[in-house]
Structures are given as structure tokens and as C-alpha cells.
Amino acid sequence: MKRFYKAVFIVFILLVLMFAVQQGMFEHLTDSNWVAHFIVDKGGFALLVLLLVGALFTAVGGPRQVIAFVFGFALGGIYGGIFSTLAALLGCVFAFYVARFTIRSSLQRRFGKRLQKFETLIIHKTWLKVLMIRLLPVGSNLLTNLCAGATHVPAGGFMLGSVLGYLPQMLIFSFAGAGIGLSDHNQLGISIGLFILSSLIGAYLYRSSLRKQVDELETE
């Protein structure tokens, strides 16, 4: 029975992905003008659709920076940053639980040693370790989500660290999108300032012992 539910879940995921691709939703999601007009025309319904499609887009490996830029263009720097961060978090949750409930055993067989190292790295003080990893310019968002889902890493700490780590970068790209959309140099200036601040934090983390451990995982 458990296998049956897993099979149904996987089929459902594939059908949703096929529908999104068939309707051109991923293509529309990266079009700033289309998204802005869609929100004006459909209002709250458009926001719900874009939130779900944005979550699905990031869950399958789409760059979250793209949706941050697009939503910033359509909603403004602050609201676009928060909205895109929420979409990325939902995508993170989606990928995490797909790995945990459907392909966990397969991932463990294929990447057992690497997953064990990853789990050892973040099993304690999970939210802080994940926050640092999200701020570091390393790795794949999708692979990090899948690896966490395939281990015993606590979901709550992983999600908290992820959303805190996502937010600075999403705000950077959201303010950049808002600045271009409104031809507002102040918004672009905020984006540049946030980028410098984020880079300084990243430079500090680059020298940390955590960076060395993450590099070991990346090169294996």
C-alpha cells in the first residue's frame, strides 16, 4: 500500500509538471512584462497562481534569482523580495518532501557516503548551518533540498535556515528588477548595497571551517 501511494504521488507530480510546461507557465514566469500584466488583470488569483508556479519552478531547479527579479519588476522591491522568497521556500519544501517520501532509498543507495557526510555536517544547529550554506555561493539549491530530504535532517531547522538564507539574495534581485521596471536609481542603489553586504558576509563565510567541509562535499 505504501508503494502504491508513492506511485500515485509521483504520477501526480509528473502530471502537474506536464501541465505547467504545456501551458507555457515556466516561460511566462520569466517574462517580467507578462507577469506584471497578469497581476493587473487577475489580481489576487494571479498572485496565487504565480506563487504556486514559482514554487514549482524552483523545486525542479529553476533559478530563484530569476523569479526574484521578475516579481520585483511586477510588485516592487520589498514585496517582490518577500513574495519570491515565499515561492522559493515552498519549492524547497516540495523538493525536500519528494525526496523524503518517494526517492529517499534510491538517493541513499546512489549517494550513501556523501549523504552521510552532509547529514553529519548539518544535523546539529541545523538552521544556522543551512543559513550559512545558503549564503555561500556554492552548490545547487535543488541538490541541497534533495540531500536534506534523503537524510534525517530536521525539516523545521532546514526550512528556517533556508528562508533566512534565501531572503538577502532575493531582495537583491527584487530591488534590481524594481529599479529597472520603475527606472528608479534609488532601487538599483539599494540592490547594489545589498549585494555588497551579502558579498562581505559571503567573504567571511568563505574563510570559515564550514566552507572547507562544503567544498569537500562538492568535490566528491
Q: Give the pLDDT score at 58.
A: 92
d(CA 181, CA 188): 10
Q: Give the pLDDT score at 188.
A: 62
The predicted model scores a pTM of 0.81
Helices and strands: H and E segment counts in the chain: 12, 0
Per-residue pLDDT tens for 61-120?
888 889 999 999 999 889 999 999 999 999 999 999 989 888 888 888 888 888 888 888
The answer to whether residue 17 scores a pLDDT higher than 90 is no
CB atoms within 10 A of CB 48: 11
Half-sphere exposure of 78 toward its Cβ, with a 13 Å CA cutoff? 0
Ranges 5-9, 177-181, 184-188, most confident: 177-181
Contact 67, 58 (CB under 8 A): yes
C-alpha cell recorded at residue 155: 525539516
d(CA 188, CA 68): 14
The DSSP letter of residue 123 is: S
d(CA 31, CA 49): 15
Contact 122, 156 (CB under 8 A): no
Per-residue pLDDT tens for 122-180?
888 899 888 888 887 666 889 899 999 999 999 999 999 999 989 988 998 888 888 77
d(CA 89, CA 42): 24
Work out the end-to-end distance of the chain between its first and last CA atoms, rounded to an integer number of angstroms.
37
Q: Give the pLDDT score at 154.
A: 94
Residue 207 in 3-state DSSP? coil
C-alpha cell recorded at residue 177: 528588477
